[in-house]
Amino acid sequence: MAKITYREALKQGLREALHADPKVFLMGEDVGRYGGAFAVSKGLFQEFGPDRIMDVPLSESGFTGAGIGAALGGMKPIVEIMTVNFSLLAMDQIVNNAATLLHMSGGQIHVPIVIRISCGVGKQLGAQHSHSWEPLFAHIPGLNVISAGTHEDARGMLLTALKSPDPVILFEYTGLLNVEGEVPETAVEVDITKAKIRKEGKDLSLITYGSGVIKALEAAADLAVLGMDIEVLDLRSLRPLDEKAIFTSVQKTHRAIILEDAWRSVSISSEISARIMENVFYDLDAPVERLCGLEVPIPYPKHLEDACVPQKEQIVSQIRKMLSK
Amino acid sequence: MSQSLQITREKGVFLLLQMMRIRRFEEKAAEMYTKAKIRGFLHLYIGEEAVAVGITDLLGPEDNILATYREHGHALARGISANQIMAEMYGKVEGCSKGRGGSMHLFDAKKKFYGGNAIVASHLPVAVGLALASKKQEKADLTACFFGEGAMAEGEFHEAMNLAALWQLPLLMVCENNRYAMGTAVQYTHSNPDIEAKGKVYGIESATVDGMDVLSVRSAAEKAIEYIRLTGKPFFMVCNTYRFKAHSMFDAELYRDKMEVETWKKLDPIPKMQQYLLENFQFIESELKDLESACDQEVQQAVDFAEAGSWEPVENLQNYVYSPKE
Ligand SMILES: Cc1ncc(C[n+]2csc(CCOP(=O)(O)OP(=O)(O)O)c2C)c(N)n1
């Protein structure tokens, strides 16, 4: 095992992908000469040159659409949208073209594109730069939406995503970039269709993804000290959902709480809650609960920003209440 | 130096003071950023002051202004107090956006200052709409909209320009061409480097001006604004300028040459204006010292004001999501 930062994990995945297939290329704002807005692609421009690490003008709709076209034409584009805040400008291309062409063409036209999007709350960047919009994307049939909450996934998900004949949206988390974690020595593909149990437990299922994974594990560790055995399930794929993993965990623990930074209404957690109700209701000992982002545009001051998304202390106290401990 | 000698001594000194206020304010903001009093992104306008000052000077109180996340200069020039801006950057309730916005989201509805917009180019269509409202209500005011050359690659720029021309709206579109969009130089953004041509192609009257010279900016803006007020039509102004600092507070600046930065620094609009006043109006050293200490004082007061400000109680977090019920 090696210890690397989340940023380094992302970079290794990119480098591996570029080496593995000459048709793979990266395009995005400031990915090249600037070294990437978050230094994820730093050095790759020098290593692979401007044709494979393409700086593009500010034109999210334009270059995302061009990525879709390049995919139709036989290339393997990785499109980087600097942050999810700017993805709305590309949403028409993502929804009306990437997600839809296969169906509209009666199965003739595949769109093997990977769109990497970084996101997350917590850097005091204010309401236009702090979105958690995984649910918006997970709403769209035709997309595969995956979320890298760990170092292994940050490195490996891209490699698997590039094998998909259909569009993949890969969420990365800016809040994790400097966090160190363990990964196997060499980059390997990881399954992107399955959820993963990050910690086994028998008292309650704590279901989460992305920025929630580390918080959930920390909360579970605190709760273990207090004698509660929490299972942490990392969804990883937000569309399609790995229902089997969710139901199996709930059938084991009989209690579930879903954790996410995204706004509560019409979210990933509301969907999971509904599916648990529809499928394993009689396995539950208590109602499903949720911890989500507060429904407010994210304000700038630190104390208000922190209050917008679930913090570890809140997770711990909510679960203690659920388990009456 | 500019041909426009019609300005009075008083006006000249005022323009210099405005630029110095902005410079001093931002130097202080940068210092407070390193002290972690200001957080998030902080985009400095240092080097580009002549643009906001030269144009804003000619706007009336009923005219609208929209700017980007690099807008401290525009806000100060517009007359939002240094106190309120600094408090906003601290995230205090006394800030011009009640602390909710921070550096990138300065607003003041009374001063017709509509941000502080951090999605590149997304305020351009909004500016079109403000101008449309003026026209529909037969008001005499105009709307001034500032943006970078990077923003002009976005579809929203082209949509906004087309609408402004199609509907013949009283809109001053100002491109602050500082040659870089983050780390992407203008030649990697624009297929046609003739930026002014992007106004003309929509049938919009256009001009390019030395954005490092406040008098050139002001005299070009004077003509542009006169044209807009007379005809009710849009005008596109390209101001060639340069940012002396990193894109946001920190970037490795791998994308530009140190020599290039030094060359542009020789064109600094502030010493240039000082020199002009000296040559044309016997502006003396002690007057300059007075201006400097006025700026220092204003900025120190702003810091004190921000420090003394208050934090929004968490109970109020969900205010301002919807308008209050009647
Ligand atoms: C739609 C959108 N895409 C990307 C960004 C990230 N970003 C912020 S500023 C910037 C560069 C803008 O350059 P320019 O318009 O020339 O203005 P300048 O910063 O030079 O004043 C980029 C890419 C953003 N804020 N919004």
Give the model confidence (pLDDT) of A139-149 as tens digits: 999 999 999 99
- Residue after which a domain boundary falls, among A121, A154, A183: A183
Q: Are residues A84 and A143 in the same domain?
A: yes
The answer to whether B250 contacts chain A (CB < 8 Å) is: no
Architecture of domain B9-307: 3-Layer(aba) Sandwich (3.40)
Q: Are residues A7 and A125 in the same domain?
A: yes
B contact test, residue of A40, A56, A58, A263 with most B CBs within 10 A: A58
For the segment B18-22, the average pLDDT, to the nearest whole number, is 98
Q: Which of B222, B274, B228 is closest to B6 using CA atoms? A: B222
Would residue A188 count as lying in a domain?
no
Cis status of the peptide bond prior to B148, with omega within 30 of 0 = no
Q: Are residues A241 and A281 in the same domain?
A: yes
Q: What is the pLDDT of residues B173-229, one digit of tens each?
A: 999 999 999 999 999 999 999 999 999 999 999 999 999 999 999 999 999 999 999
For chain B, how far is it from start to end, CA to CA, in angstroms?
56
pLDDT greater than 70 at residue B3? no
Burial B112-139 (b: 16+ CB within 10 A, else e): bbbbbbbbbbbbbebbbebbbebbeeee
- Inter-chain residue contact B121 with A58, CB threshold 8 Å: yes
The answer to whether B182 contacts chain A (CB < 8 Å) is: yes
Q: Is residue A60 flagged as an active site residue?
A: yes
- Residue after which a domain boundary falls, among A132, A159, A183: A183
Q: How would residue B1 be classed by pLDDT, with cut points 50, 70 and 90? A: very low
Q: 3-class DSSP state for residue A282?
A: helix
pLDDT greater than 50 at residue B290? yes
pLDDT at residue A188 in the model: 80
pLDDT greater than 90 at residue B283? yes
Q: Which of A125, A116, A96, A106 is closest to A10 using CA atoms? A: A116
> What is the domain count for chain A?
2
Q: Are residues A138 and A278 in the same domain?
A: no
Ligand 1 centroid – CA B181 distance (Å): 6
- Inter-chain residue contact B40 with A62, CB threshold 8 Å: no
Q: Is residue A231 flagged as an active site residue?
A: no
Ligand 1 centroid – CA B150 distance (Å): 6
- Contact status, residue A313 vs residue A223, Cβ threshold 8 Å: no
- The predicted complex's ipTM stands at 0.96
pLDDT greater than 70 at residue B5? no
**Residue with tokens 């502030």, as numbered in its chain:** B270
Q: Are residues A30 and A86 in the same domain?
A: yes
Would residue A49 count as lying in a domain?
yes
Q: Which of B15, B1, B112 is closest to B58 using CA atoms? A: B15
Burial A133-168 (b: 16+ CB within 10 A, else e): bbbbbbebebbbbbbbbbbbbbbbbbbbbbebebbb
Would residue A307 count as lying in a domain?
yes
Q: Are residues A274 and A295 in the same domain?
A: yes
Would residue A190 count as lying in a domain?
no
Would residue A24 count as lying in a domain?
yes
Q: What is the pLDDT of residues B213-253, one digit of tens each?
A: 999 999 999 999 999 999 999 999 999 999 999 999 888 89
Q: What is the pLDDT of residues B62-72, one digit of tens each?
A: 999 999 999 99
pLDDT at residue B2 in the model: 44
Residue to substitute in B103, B145, B175, B182 for testing ligand 1 pocket (most ligand atoms within 8 angstroms of CB): B182
B242 vs B46: CA distance, rounded Å: 9
Q: Whose CA is nearest to atom 17 of ligand 1?
A: B148
**CATH number reported for the structural domain that contains residue A254 in this entry:** 3.40.50.920
Residues of chain A where predicted confidence (pLDDT) is lower than 70: none
- Residue after which a domain boundary falls, among A157, A183, A209: A183
- Inter-chain residue contact A30 with B182, CB threshold 8 Å: yes
Q: Are residues A295 and A267 in the same domain?
A: yes
Q: Are residues A9 and A156 in the same domain?
A: yes
Q: How would residue B326 be classed by pLDDT, with cut points 50, 70 and 90? A: confident
> Exposure of B267 by Cβ count < 10 A (0-12 exposed, 13-18 middle, 19+ buried)?
middle
Would residue A27 count as lying in a domain?
yes
Q: Which amino acid is at B192?
A: N
Ligand 1 centroid – CA B68 distance (Å): 9
For the segment B161-169, the average pLDDT, to the nearest whole number, is 98
The answer to whether A34 contacts chain B (CB < 8 Å) is: yes
Q: Are residues A27 and A145 in the same domain?
A: yes
The answer to whether A122 contacts chain B (CB < 8 Å) is: no
For the segment B281-306, the average pLDDT, to the nearest whole number, is 97
Would residue A68 count as lying in a domain?
yes
Q: Are residues A209 and A302 in the same domain?
A: yes
A288: containing domain: 196-324
